[in-house]
Amino acid sequence: MTSVNAIDLTLPLTEEAACSVRAGDVVHLTGPLYTARDAAHQRLVALIEAGEELPIEIAGQVIYYCGPTPAPPGRPIGSAGPTTSYRMDDFAPELHRLGLRGTIGKGNRSAHVRQALRRYGGVYFVAVGGAGALLAEHITVAEVVAYPELGPEAIRRLEVEQFPVIVGYDCRGGTAFVGEKPLT
């Protein structure tokens, strides 16, 4: 999935970089990002509420809502497609408050996540569901960095090259979802 009009962004993201893209833009991400799903998000927010240190640095990071399959021989990761994002909506605003710059998943987000993106200068990227094997071709390194007991839902640090995404929601309240109104 390449595009001559794709915007290249280097991870981690600054607020300026996160806010430089608009809903509907095609973006290629290069650099480190983290995977985390429901169980990991619940643990992260519990640590925040308890005033404890997180196992990963949140500021400037992008979290990919993904539970990859085991790596086949010679590959760093198996299929690595996006999971439905709304399941993290209760947790995402708190992470954005701490400086999380972006998330990657599939599907719409709640108004309160969209407001957090606008308030804290974040972006929601959409990856193509059903294309996990293709997306895995853009992942060069994958290592579990927290909660290995969660299996596919462990937090992983990935190195990605030209990872293709679309801006679903931008930091100005814009949306790429048909029939959905921008925040005003």
Q: Is 50 helix (H, G, I), strand (E, B) or coil?
A: coil
Is residue 78 predicted with pLDDT exceeding 50?
Answer: yes
Spatial separation of the C-alpha atoms in residues 111 and 119, rounded to whole Å? 12
Strand pairing class (102-105; 26-35): unpaired
Q: What pLDDT score was predicted for residue 129? A: 84
Global pTM reads 0.95
% of the chain at pLDDT higher than 70? 98
> Average model confidence (pLDDT) for the chain?
95
The answer to whether the beta carbons of residues 62 and 172 sit under 8 Å apart is: no
Is residue 1 predicted with pLDDT exceeding 70?
Answer: no
> What value, to the nearest 5°, has the Cα angle with vertex 76 and ends 29 and 135?
40
The amino acid at 33? L
Asked, as a colleague might, if the bond just before 148 is cis with ω within 30 of 0, I would say no
Query: Span 165-176, mean pLDDT?
Result: 97
Report the top-level CATH class of 7-141+150-169: alpha beta
Q: What pLDDT score was predicted for residue 164? A: 97
Give the confidence band of 184 by pLDDT, cuts at 50, 70, 90.
confident
Is residue 135 predicted with pLDDT exceeding 80?
Answer: yes
Query: Span 140-155, mean pLDDT?
Result: 96
How many C-beta atoms surround the C-beta of residue 127 within 10 A? 25
Is residue 130 predicted with pLDDT exceeding 90?
Answer: no
Spatial separation of the C-alpha atoms in residues 38 and 10, rounded to whole Å? 26
- Using one digit for the tens of pLDDT, what is the confidence trace for 114-128? 999 999 999 999 998
